[in-house]
Each structure stands twice: as structure tokens, then as C-alpha cells.
Amino acid sequence: MDKIYFSGMSFYGYHGVFAAEAELGQRFYVDLALSVDLSKAGASDDLNDTINYAEIFSSVQQIVEGQRFKLVEALTANIAEKLLRQFPLAEVKVKVTKPNPPINGHYDSVAIEMTRKREDFR
């Protein structure tokens, strides 16, 4: 299976358990690995035979910036489900990174990664 990758998409969202997270918001980063058959597009060199990258970005942006989730797990699951329902993908791997969760300590970020297959959403 072929793959389309998106790395480091950046969005501003209001996700988190605490009221301050909902009020102030913060940056979230999303990475995708999308499994899809790209053989037709590779042979035709025609955008109509592949998935429009701008549409993928827009779909993720609508969820991260347009909805509110308490858990990064719920945000990640919703992205995966929407992409599988909206596009002819065989599998999606979604990683959402929250660089500044309210945790005392020293770390770069926390992230949730989920892999979902088309047959999970039939």
C-alpha cells in the first residue's frame, strides 16, 4: 500500500480538561500517514486520480480548530474517523502532539498516536 505523509501541521485549538486550556488554547501539531492505492495517479499524473492534499489539511483543521475536546485521545480519534469517512483511504495513522500540557516537569511534549483501518468504520 502506498502512503501520503503530512508532517508537522500546526493548528491553534482549545482542547484540554482544565478551564484555562479551554479559555487560552494552545498550538497542536498533527502528523498523518495515509495508506491509499496511488498507482492510478502515478500513471496518469492527474489530480483527479489522487487525494487532494489541501482537502486533507482542511478536514483536519476543521476538527482541531473548530471543535473542542477534553482529551487529546478524543481529538485524535475524531481526526482518524473523519478522514476514513471522507476519503478513500485504507488506513490512517494520526499523531497529535500537545507541546504544553499542564504537567509539572521537564519534557518536550506529549502525543497520542492512533492507527485506524477502513473496516473499523463500515
User: Which CATH code, of 3.30.565.10, 3.40.50.300, 3.30.590.10, 3.30.1130.10, is assigned to 2-121?
Assistant: 3.30.1130.10
Q: What is the pLDDT of residue 106?
A: 79
98 in catalytic set? yes
Q: What is the pLDDT of residue 101?
A: 80
Average pLDDT, the chain: 93
Contacts of 84 (CB under 8 A, 6+ apart): 92, 116, 117, 118, 120, 121
Q: What is the pLDDT of residue 122?
A: 61
User: Which residue would you say has higher pLDDT here, 88 or 100?
Assistant: 88
For the chain, how many residues are written?
A: 122
- Structural domain boundaries of the chain? 2-121
Mean pLDDT of 32-59: 96
Indicate if the pLDDT at residue 44 is higher than 90. yes
Selected catalytic residue, list 3, 70, 82, 98: 98
The SS3 assignment for 42 reads helix
Q: What is the pLDDT of residue 11?
A: 98
Indicate if the pLDDT at residue 117 is higher than 80. yes
Mean pLDDT of 71-93: 97
